[in-house]
Amino acid sequence: MVYEIRMSNSKKMPYFFNTETQQSTWEPPAGMTREEVEQLQGAHFLKGGAQQFDKSGQVRASHLLVKHSGSRRPASWKDPQITRSKEEAIDILKGYQAEIGGSKEKFAELAQLHSDCSSHEKGGDLGFFGRGQMQKPFEDAAFGLEVGQMSDIISSDSGVHIVLRTA
């Protein structure tokens, strides 16, 4: 595998790009040491050095978001103008909760099909994040869960969510 580090124009964050497969990821390639990361072309984009990929103090979570008319941006990849009420959004999530029944695979499947977040493409996976990077209700829920545990319905400015802590 041939990787280089590039800078995202939209997020202003470095990412890892596989020049053979043309695939990109926010996370260092599996099995790559800090020293190997520091030797990659574009390593200068890592302001904090390779240690910025040390995940202590961070969690990894997936979510299933259902937006409503009161969401800060009531539109999504599947609906350009969301008009449902918050109560309707909660009812939809309750239905998904019943379908999920504790299954991580079912969670990812439903997130991919139904989440109003662009993370739907990755089964709702948001990757690793630390405190202060997400809206407070979402952050509190994610950090309050044990790995593998799923939240009850939480509300944020984005809409209503179910959160699954994955790491």
Short-list 167, 65, 136, 157, CA closest to 107: 65
Question: Between these two residues, 10 and 155, which has the higher pLDDT value?
Answer: 155
Tokens 């470095």 locate to: 14
Residue 76's pLDDT is 95
Compute the distance between CA of residue 28 and CA of residue 64 in angstroms, rounded to an integer: 25
Contacts of 155 (CB under 8 A, 6+ apart): 86, 137, 161
Neighbours of 153 (CB within 10 A): 18
What whole-number percentage of the chain has pLDDT above 90? 61
| Least trusted range by pLDDT, from 25-34, 40-49, 67-76, 120-129 | 40-49
Q: Would you say residue 49 has pLDDT above 90?
A: no
Known catalytic residues are 63, 117, 135, 158, 161
The full DSSP string for 135-156 is -HHHHHHHHHSPTT-B---EEE
User: Is 111:100 a contact under the CB 8 Å cutoff?
Assistant: no
Average pLDDT on 1-15 reads 80
Question: Are 90 and 153 within 8 A, CB to CB?
Answer: yes
Which residue in this structure is represented by tokens 């009812």?
Answer: 91
pLDDT of res. 99: 96
What tens digit of pLDDT does each residue of 57-113 get?
A: 788 999 999 999 999 999 999 999 999 999 999 999 999 999 999 899 999 999 999
What pLDDT band is residue 51 in, cutting at 50, 70 and 90? very low
- Whole-number Cα distances in Å, 154 to 3, 38, 119, 158, 164: 38, 39, 17, 11, 12
Q: Please, which pLDDT band fits residue 36 given cuts at 50, 70 and 90?
A: confident
Q: Model confidence over 138-155: pLDDT tens digits? A: 999 999 999 999 999 999
Q: Count CB atoms within 10 A of the CB of residue 38.
A: 14
pTM: 0.68
Question: For residue 53, what pLDDT is reported?
Answer: 52
